[in-house]
A and B are shown apart, each in its own frame.
Chain A
Amino acid sequence: MTNQIINDLTIQAATVNGSGSQTANLVLTRAIFHMGIPVAPKNVFPSNIEGLPTWYQLRVTPQGHMARRDQVDILIAFNPATWHQDLRTVRPGGVVVHEEVFSTADARTDVIYYAVPFSKLAKSKIQNDTLRKQLANMIYVGVVAGLLGIPWEALEHAVTRQFLSKPKAVPLNLDAIKVGFDYWQDNFSKKDPYRLEAMTGLVDSKVLVEGNQAAALGALMGGVTVVAWYPITPSSSLCENLIAYAERFRTDPETGQKRIAVVQAEDELAAVGMAIGAGWAGARAMTSTSGPGISLMAEFAGLAYYAEVPVVIFDIQRIGPSTGLPTRTSQADVGFAYTLSHGDTKHLVLLPGTVEECYEFARDAFDYADRFQTPVFVLSDLDLGMNLWMTPEFKYPDKPFDRGKVLSKADLERLAGEWARYRDVDGDGVPYRTLPGTDHPAAGYFTRGSGHDEHARYTESAEAYAANMDRLSRKFETARAALPAPVIDESTGSKIGLIAFGSTHAAVVESRSALAAAKLPVDYLRIRALPLSAQVAEFVSRHERVYVIEQNRDGQVYDLLRLALPPALVDRLRSIRHYDGQPIPADAITEPLLESEAVPA
């Protein structure tokens, strides 16, 4: 065979949701990962429980590219309903492994077919009646293993890993994989160029983690003690993972007592209200939601901003407006979350761009919330939150909690009770607070969302109102410099810069390689928090043209930048947007950039 393609391919499995296909997909992913080959899986699933089309895209590259790619090299076609549509996605010369009964009469002639009687094999070879439906999916793993040369040892490892808590399932699943593996060996000879070969040094000490798992672990390490949530895709798995981890790590094995309180609230209003009540009482408290929940939380977000109550709010973004596409990704809440609530409200927003940052920002969000006594939004998205990402292992925290300016009983005694809740003692806009339960007669104060003076007393005084709002702005400026700084790479020396944030990062990394190969190297600044760091304007000032890349229709961060930059810099900005609900592929950056910069492709 000439022109072999090794370790650089995209597999797409087209199945029906609720059929157990996800387990098979994960086993295939883990087996390839175990061979030392970088993997980047993406799940495209419907807002449905059973019976609708679902796709699993597994991208394999020696470079470790993590972004989605539009083009499919190997299609595994299980779903008769999407068969013709799926066939169109395969690149010329690609492979189609399909259920034997699907008609290829008027199908494409520029792809290589392997017809497998999956249903017949499942009926004749899988003896376990109750699990046949689930195990049938494993047959495809065996066929792909034969097709691509995945060693049996890697499959054994993957199955054992997948069923860590159910060891009895391991032989059953391996037997099913063997059915497919044997069928390949007995019936096909290789007609296509694709192969997998074990690699070394690329995935050492790397792990596969979903962003919502990472954030759940981060919250636990950040010391969260009160969690209130309302189920919503794609956020639910964050709290569900957190509950599972807390069961394991926050439960006293002898007494059964928990070092965490979790409430599944009646709605998102109540969820964030509970978190704010807990934050007021001094707990590290959080909620997690997605766009529709954020809309409902607007009222309470303003209260927490104005009354200065710490709380952490995760928004795992999905496509809106309204219900939108509940199982598709986007970055379209960033503008709304930033100024959520009426009046002059503005918030601290963290924008993790990797699963490692999902962990770190989730953990540190509680410090920022306590330190600045305000809501902190952590904006992840469905792509980051619900897909597995290859990542270095997370680091154990090297700092204790930062509980911010809290006056204890001893502090109040030292001050002889002289303090005021909303007084700017240190000139940084951040006042001191006391926690309910502090045993000192001067500790108590009356928190309110209505106008208040330094002592938290109700007032309608114009001067007191304006002075307080100005102090809140000072506090915001203090936070601006303290939040995670942008990550900047100016090593190319290019006149062209890219600005991106969040999960768009993966596509930017890949696109920069492609652009460099096309003789258009570009610098890169990745925003990691709002309000914007001063470094953003400096970056723009050092480049002639700066492309802002984001996954929303209106260029929300592009707009924020236009408002924030000095007028002389505004015209340097360009906007590249991707908003079809699928994670942005590198081509969606590379192609418009090459065109805009008039570089011949």
Chain B
Amino acid sequence: MSTTLNRVGLPRDAYKGAATTLCAGCGHNSITNHMIKALYELGVEPHRLAKMSGIGCSSKTPAYFVEAAHGFNGVHGRMPALTTGAQLANRQLIMLGVSGDGDTASIGLGQFMHMIRRNIDCTYIIEDNGTYGLTKGQFSATADLGSVQKKGAVNTFQPIDPCAVALTLGCTFVARSFSGDGKQVVPLIKAAIAHRGTAVLDIVSPCVTFNDHDGSTKSYSWIKDHEESIADVSFIPFFEEVHVDYEPGTVRDVELHDGSHILLKKLGEDHDPTDRRAAMKVIEEGRAAGHLVTGLLYLDPASVDFATSERIPDSPLVDLGEDQLRLTRGEFAQFMSEFA
């Protein structure tokens, strides 16, 4: 059997990690596989990848892909802070954050929002199952109103929609998908990585143990019945040529900062992914209709990330030495004399 190497000379296996310890059939495992495929096909160099996470089932998953990359499984809901610091320390790192719905929408909502507000250059994946799996099935803040818990309790609170929150805060890349929809998830992950700025990707990912029953709006069967994709997504990385053989007017082509392209093939009504108000409308209409709207909801191709606007150099701050960081003897003497 021949092994196909990607553009950096690595086989697909180089993107695998430790064996998963999550439940068989967990949506998160599918996302891990989508991640492996996307990173392999993009040809991300493992040493440049920084896998960041908080606490929860989702936050365990960075151990299950790209073993050779550095990872940081921090504290609950605080992945954005760790990611922000690491990104500023070394802009050459590709920051890939994996979080869950509890980690993002409850304990970590503040950090999630402020990271978006700053537009830190990173990919922020929410593995969203509407439940606290590790602590055995309590509702999370993304659980829909009226959704039923395994033991029968009914959720009486409005859900926090991470995509709507992100849009409100001016997030420069907002997408939603379903763990079972690899055709959509893989190109969205690639596009999120290529995007310069905070890319939020909310992937509904059923919890087979605690939230896959009738009455749940995050179960496999509910999503299969209610998913409504707004467009077929394909991603052409900067190192490949764009060949469009669609009929004119049926495909939108959005070029990203690094020269990559996102191609969106219309399915129903035309959605302009660079129109933030339209994205809000799509979310609200889907919600009113009881649909799970998936796809690329919003993208600002002109996004300027925090480090760029703060004039942090592209080369890592980590590499600077005494000669670039200390005052010279002359500067120091002058400066001290100013305190006289």
Q: Cβ of B110 and Cβ of A285 under 8 Å apart?
A: no
Task: Indicate whether B48 reaches chain A with its CB closer than 8 angstroms.
Answer: yes
Q: Which residues, 224 to 279 on A, are CB-close (under 8 Å) to B?
A: 224-226, 228, 245, 249-250, 255-263, 265-267, 269-279
Cα of A285 to Cα of B63 in the assembled complex, Å: 26
Given A221-B327, A249-B327, A270-B111, A277 and B48 contact (CB-CB distance below 8 Å): no
Q: Once the chains are docked, how many angstroms separate the CA of A370 from the CA of B189?
A: 35
CB distance from A52 to the nearest CB of B (A): 29
Interface membership of chain B positions 320-337, coded 1 if the CB is closer than 8 angstroms to chain A and 0 otherwise: 111011110101110111
Which residue of the partner chain B has the closest CB to A206? B340
A297 to B80, CA, bound (A): 15
* Contact status of A446 and B89, CB under 8 A, knowing A258-B312, A273-B78: no
Chain B CB within 8 A of A152 CB: no
* Chain B residues closer than 8 Å to A400, beta-carbon distance: 322
The CA-CA distance from A274 to B86 in the complex, in Å, is: 7
Mark contacts of B300-340 with chain A using CB atoms, 8 A cut-off: 1 yes-contact digit, 0 otherwise.
Answer: 00000001001111001110111011110101110111111
Q: Is the CB of A276 within 8 A of B82?
A: yes
Identity of the chain A residue whose Cβ is nearest the Cβ of B317 in the assembled complex: A225
Q: Which residues in chain A, 96-136, are within 8 Å of chain B measured between CB atoms?
A: none
Q: Tell me the bound Cα distance from A265 to B320 in angstroms.
A: 24
State whether B82 touches A446 (Cβ < 8 A). Answer: no
Interface 1/0 per residue, B45-69 and A, CB below 8 Å: 1111011100000000011001111
Within 8 A of A (CB), among B74-123: 74-75, 78, 80-90, 92-93, 110-111, 114, 118
Q: In the bound complex, how far is the Cα of B84 from the Cα of A438, in angstroms?
A: 19
Is B234 close to A, CB under 8 A? Answer: no
Measured between beta carbons, the chain B residues less than 8 angstroms from A257 are 311-313
With a CB–CB cut-off of 8 A, which chain A residues contact B316?
282, 437
Are the C-beta atoms of B47 and A444 separated by less than 8 Å?
Answer: yes
- For chain A, the count of residues having a C-beta within 8 Å of the partner chain is 75
Q: Tell whether A217 is near chain B: CB-to-CB under 8 Å.
A: yes
CB <8 Å contact, B320 and A282: no
**Segment among A6-14, A141-149, A168-176, A390-398 that sits at the interface with chain B:** A390-398
Whether A305 is near chain B, meaning CB under 8 Å from some CB there, is no
Residue in A161, A273, A458 whose CB lies within 8 Å of B74: A273
- In the complex, are the beta carbons of B84 and A263 less than 8 A apart? yes
- A275 and B335 CA atoms in complex are apart in Å by 27
Is A444 touching B83 in the complex (CB atoms < 8 A)? no
CB neighbours (8 Å) of B170 from chain A are none
A-side contacts of B78, CB under 8 Å: 269-270, 273, 299-300
* Residue from B51, B316, B325, B337 having most chain A Cβ neighbours under 10 A: B325
| Nearest CB on A from B66, distance (A) | 8
Please, which residue of chain B has its CB at the minimum distance from the CB of A262?
Answer: B310
Cβ contacts under 8 Å, A281 to chain B = 50, 85-86, 89-90, 93, 318
Nearest chain B residue, comparing its CB with the CB of A435: B318
Q: Is the CB of B85 within 8 A of A446?
A: no
A208 in the interface (beta carbon within 8 A): yes
Bound CA–CA A396/B338 (angstroms): 15
Closest-by-CB residue of A relative to B313 is A257
With A and B bound together, what is the CA distance between A259 and B327 in angstroms?
12
Question: From residue A496, how far is it (CB to closest CB) to chain B in Å?
Answer: 37
Q: A276 to B50, Cβ gap below 8 A? A: no
Pair B324/A449 contact, Cβ less than 8 Å: no
Q: Given contacts A221-B327, A281-B93, is CB(A260)–CB(B317) below 8 Å?
A: yes
Contacts of A435 in B (CB 8 A): 90, 318
Q: Is B70 an interface residue (CB 8 A)?
A: yes
Judge whether A336 is part of the interface by a CB distance below 8 angstroms. no
Cβ A396 vs Cβ B329 within 8 A:
yes
> Is A207 a contact partner of B336 (Cβ separation < 8 A)?
yes
Instruction: Determine the distance from Cα of A203 to Cα of B324 in the docked complex, in whole angstroms.
Output: 33
A599–B202 Cα distance when bound, in Å, is 75
- Residue among B69, B75, B80, B87 having the largest count of chain A Cβ atoms under 10 Å: B75
Asked if B222 is at the interface (CB within 8 A of a chain A CB), the reply is no
A269 engages B70 (CB within 8 Å): no
**Cα separation A303 to B76 with both chains bound (whole Å):** 11
Residues of chain B within 8 A (CB-CB) of A448 are: 72-73
The residue on A at minimum CB distance from B14 is A441
Does A548 reach chain B (CB closer than 8 Å)?
no
* Contact indicator per residue, chain B 34-48, by CB within 8 Å of chain A (1) or not (0): 000000000001111
By a CB distance below 8 angstroms, the chain A residues around B322 are 223, 400-401
Q: Which residues of B contact A438 (CB under 8 A)?
A: 47
Does B71 interact with chain A (Cβ within 8 Å)?
Answer: yes
Cβ contact of A444, chosen from B71, B87, B325, cutoff 8 A = B71
In the bound complex, residues from chain A placing their C-beta under 8 Å from that of B45 are: 439
Q: Which of B321, B339, B340 has the most CB of A within 10 A?
A: B339
Q: Is the CB of B311 within 8 A of A258?
A: yes
| Residues of chain B with a CB closer than 8 A to A220's CB | 325-327
Check A193 for interface membership: any CB of B closer than 8 A: no
Given the known A-B contacts A439-B47, A458-B63, are A394 and B82 also in contact in the complex, defined by CB atoms under 8 Å?
A: no
Query: Contact string, A444-470, partner B, CB cutoff 8 A, digits 1/0?
Result: 111111100000011000000000000
**Is B88 a contact of A226 with CB atoms below 8 Å?**
yes
> Do residues B336 and A226 form an inter-chain contact, with CB atoms below 8 A?
no
B327 touches A276 (CB 8 A): no
A443 an interface residue at 8 Å Cβ cutoff? Answer: yes
CB distance from B116 to the nearest CB of A (A): 11
With A225-B325, A263-B88, A444-B71 known as contacts, the answer to whether A277 contacts B83 (CB < 8 A) is yes
Contact assessment for B92 and A447 in the assembled complex, using a CB-CB cutoff below 8 Å? no
From B73, B90, B336, B340, A446 is in contact (CB under 8 Å) with: B73
A447 touches B73 (CB 8 A): yes
1/0 per residue B191-203: CB within 8 Å of A?
0000000000000
Q: How far is the CA of A263 from the CA of B312 in the complex (A)?
A: 12
> How distant is the Cα of A287 from the Cα of B259 in the complex, in angstroms?
37
CB-based contact A223/B326 at 8 Å:
yes
Within 8 A of B (CB), among A377-396: 393-394, 396
Given the known interface contacts A258-B312, A401-B321, A437-B92, the answer about A285 and B85 at a Cβ–Cβ threshold of 8 Å is yes
Complex Cα–Cα for A449 and B326 (A)? 33
- B81 near A269 with CB under 8 A, answer yes
Closest approach, in angstroms, between the C-beta of B22 and any C-beta of chain A? 13
The residue on A at minimum CB distance from B85 is: A277
Is A280 in contact with chain B by the CB < 8 A criterion?
A: yes
Quick check: is A283 within 8 A (CB to CB) of the other chain?
A: yes
Within 8 A of A (CB), among B144-187: none
A residues neighboring B (CB under 8 Å): 161, 164, 206-209, 213, 217, 220-221, 223-226, 228, 245, 249-250, 255-263, 265-267, 269-283, 285, 299-300, 303, 307, 393-394, 396-397, 400-401, 434-450, 457-458
A-B contact pairs, 16 of them (CB 8 A): A208-B339, A208-B340, A245-B335, A269-B81, A270-B84, A273-B81, A277-B81, A279-B85, A280-B85, A307-B72, A396-B329, A397-B326, A437-B90, A443-B70, A444-B68, A446-B51
Sample of 11 more A-B contacts, CB < 8 Å, known A438-B47, A443-B68:
A207-B340, A228-B85, A261-B317, A266-B114, A272-B81, A274-B88, A279-B85, A281-B85, A282-B89, A436-B47, A446-B72
